[in-house]
Structure 1
Amino acid sequence: MCMVIFAPIFAICAFATCGGYHGLLQVKVDCADRRQNNLSINIDFSYPFRLQQVHFKAPLCEAKRNEILFLDGDFSSSAQFFVVVGVFAFLYSLLATVVYVFYQNKYLKNNRGPLVDFVVTMIFSVMWLISSCCWAKALSDIKTATNPTQVLLLISACRAHENRCTATQGPLWSRLNTSAVFGFVNVVLWVGNIWFVFKETGWYKTGQRYPTRSASGKRESFGPQPSRQDSFNQSRGEYGQKVHKQSSFNQSQVSFSLPQTYLGKPVMYERENKAATQGPMIFVNEM
């Protein structure tokens, strides 16, 4: 959500403050012979900072004529690269916002959307880093090339000690400094978003399916854990099984220790045995 809100805003601030810049440098030349005094020279420059094409007219104190001078340096490549990265980052941020809000199900389907988003986020992170560093270096060189002391050395009349040259107005650098700051803010924002995009990919989810071994040597599983009620029922079942096994063991032990008895009629059994063990019976008939 942070990426959806801040990425387009910071991208606009970065390329707008750089692409819409307009600078003005004003110097004044006073000749020693008083022929030409208080001559103000306005030097305008702007994006894309092709300073070698910026020209201005400076007076020659020896004669009533002017010379045409040019500034030094071409910093258009770094400035345009920075602006292009900002514009494309802004467009991609808007597209990602639309996908996140209205096409969330299609985005997460078959893992293609998160993988594309992860790769593009890494590319923009690298591009923001390179373009911001290049633009910061180019901005430092632009400040040097438009330094009033450096510009006055280009004017022939100012190299003569009898003439007096001063800078009455210098360019304001706050806007370009802000653009460089926003460039590095975008670097932090896009690099920090890599982790959140990676969590949506199948690579991260596949790694979460397998248990990992902790420092104590036990395996830790990331699956669903049983609830308290399930644990109570499981322990209750195990306790019932133990009680049943114990009672079965006691019953078998008691049945093993009891003597085997016969529940018939022992008296009749003994008489029959006595009768069977006696000798032959003699019957006497009395007359």
Structure 2
Amino acid sequence: MASNIYLVRQRISRLGQRMSSFQLNLSPLKEPLGFIKVLEWVASIFSFATCGGFKGKTSILVSCAKENQTVSAAFAYPFRLNQASFQSSTQHNVCDIDWSKYVLIGDYASSAQFYVTFAVFVFLYCIAALLLYLGYTNLYRDNRKLPMIDFIITLVATFLWLVSTSAWAKALTDIKIATGHNIVGELDQCVGHNVKCNFDSVTSMGSLNVSVICGFLNLILWGGNAWFVYKETNLHSPSDATASQSQGGGPPPTGV
């Protein structure tokens, strides 16, 4: 009993020494495990930056007997379009209509925020993982629990990239429809009145398209990296006893 307690204390002390001794080792960056993690870190930055930093507006041309003016509705992340009201450049009613009472259709905040929030968490996790890979290389490879935790997180992240990117891609398609040519038919004052409305323009959503591409790129990176993380776990690396039996085929024969 005393010897077991002594062994446990030794292991704890060794673990404490490894945790306290930070030694920078860049060799994992030359391996797929570390190199792909850097790519995942960069891709996550592009994912939340291209989506969370978007600002745009859509405009329609309003014509009547009195005047001919443009009214615009500004929208941005997190894309609560039902809060984006129309405003005229002259700050007064156009064709005797208070356009500030009219808004775009749709609320896509849940999909956009889920995508951006998850990308930020991935960004933070990649920093922590790289710190572990490069600073505590021996601890990561000697402690079999850390690679297993890393492997489980990698699988979960791969699945969540699929879910979040698919939801955001569907939301982006709906945003393009809600801010495009169809808005003229959705506004009551543009239908059946002495007011003629024509779609004018909408801000290019190229950065949002890039965000979707980055999301699927992250899905590929995390799915491919799952194999290299799996190779670090004890699921892939057999124990010493099993390895010796598989290589030797059994105990050596004894003489007669």
TM-score for the superposition, normalised by structure 1: 0.67
How does 1:194-209 map onto structure 2 within 5 Å? 194-206=226-238
Structure 1, 51-60 or 16-25: larger mean CA deviation: 51-60
Structure 1, 152-161 or 11-20: larger mean CA deviation: 152-161
Q: Does 1:116 align with 2:149?
A: yes
1:165 Cα deviation after fit: 2.2
1:71 corresponds in structure 2 to: 104
How does 1:37-52 map onto structure 2 within 5 Å? 37-52=67-82
Q: Does 1:53 align with 2:53?
A: no
Structure 1, 156-165 or 170-179: larger mean CA deviation: 156-165
Contact 1:22 1:46 in 2 (8 A): yes
Q: Mind listing any 5+ residue stretches in structure 2 that lack a counterpart? A: 1-33, 249-256
1:246 corresponds in structure 2 to: none
CA distance in 1 between counterparts of 2:188 and 2:146 reads 63
User: Does 1 or 2 have the higher relative contact order (CA < 8 Å, sep 6+)?
Assistant: 2
- Distance change >3 Å, CA 60–CA 118, structure 1 → 2: same
Computing the radius of gyration over CA atoms, which structure comes out larger, 1 or 2?
Answer: 1
Q: Secondary structure at the match of 1:131?
A: helix
Residue deviations 1:217-262, cap 9 Å, x none? xxx9557xxxxxxxxxxxxxxxxxxxxxxxxxxxxxxxxxxxxxxx
Residue deviations 1:257-281, cap 9 Å, x none? xxxxxxxxxxxxxxxxxxxxxxxxx
2:222 corresponds in structure 1 to: 190
Could you tell me which amino acid in structure 2 is paired with residue 11 of structure 1?
A: S
2:161 corresponds in structure 1 to: 128
CA distance in 1 between counterparts of 2:55 and 2:97 reads 29
CA distance in 1 between counterparts of 2:122 and 2:193 reads 52
1:162 Cα deviation after fit: 5.5
CA distance in 1 between counterparts of 2:210 and 2:155 reads 24
1:254 corresponds in structure 2 to: none
How does 1:11-160 map onto structure 2 within 5 Å? 11-31=44-64, 33=65, 35=66, 37-57=67-87, 61=95, 64-67=96-99, 68-147=101-180, 149-160=181-192
Q: RMSD of aligned C-alpha atoms?
A: 2.2
TM-score for the superposition, normalised by structure 2: 0.75
Could you tell me which amino acid in structure 2 is paired with residue 119 of structure 1?
A: I
CA distance in 2 between counterparts of 1:181 and 1:207 reads 41
Q: Mind listing any 5+ residue stretches in structure 1 that lack a counterpart? A: 212-219, 224-287
CA distance in 2 between counterparts of 1:60 and 1:40 reads 9
CA distance in 2 between counterparts of 1:207 and 1:183 reads 37
1:2 Cα deviation after fit: 2.5
Identity of aligned residues (%): 37
How does 1:202-217 map onto structure 2 within 5 Å? 202-206=234-238, 210=242
- Distance change >3 Å, CA 168–CA 174, structure 1 → 2: same
CA distance in 2 between counterparts of 1:158 and 1:127 reads 42
CA distance in 2 between counterparts of 1:57 and 1:201 reads 59
Residue deviations 1:152-199, cap 9 Å, x none? 123344224764322222121111010000000000000111110010
How does 1:219-238 map onto structure 2 within 5 Å? 221-222=246-247
Could you tell me which amino acid in structure 2 is paired with residue 167 of structure 1?
A: F
Structure 1 residue aligned with 2:213, among 177, 181, 191? 181
CA distance in 2 between counterparts of 1:208 and 1:23 reads 60
CA distance in 2 between counterparts of 1:82 and 1:164 reads 39
CA distance in 2 between counterparts of 1:20 and 1:208 reads 52
- Distance change >3 Å, CA 144–CA 65, structure 1 → 2: closer
Structure 1, 178-187 or 48-57: larger mean CA deviation: 48-57
Q: Secondary structure at the match of 2:130?
A: helix
- Distance change >3 Å, CA 222–CA 175, structure 1 → 2: farther
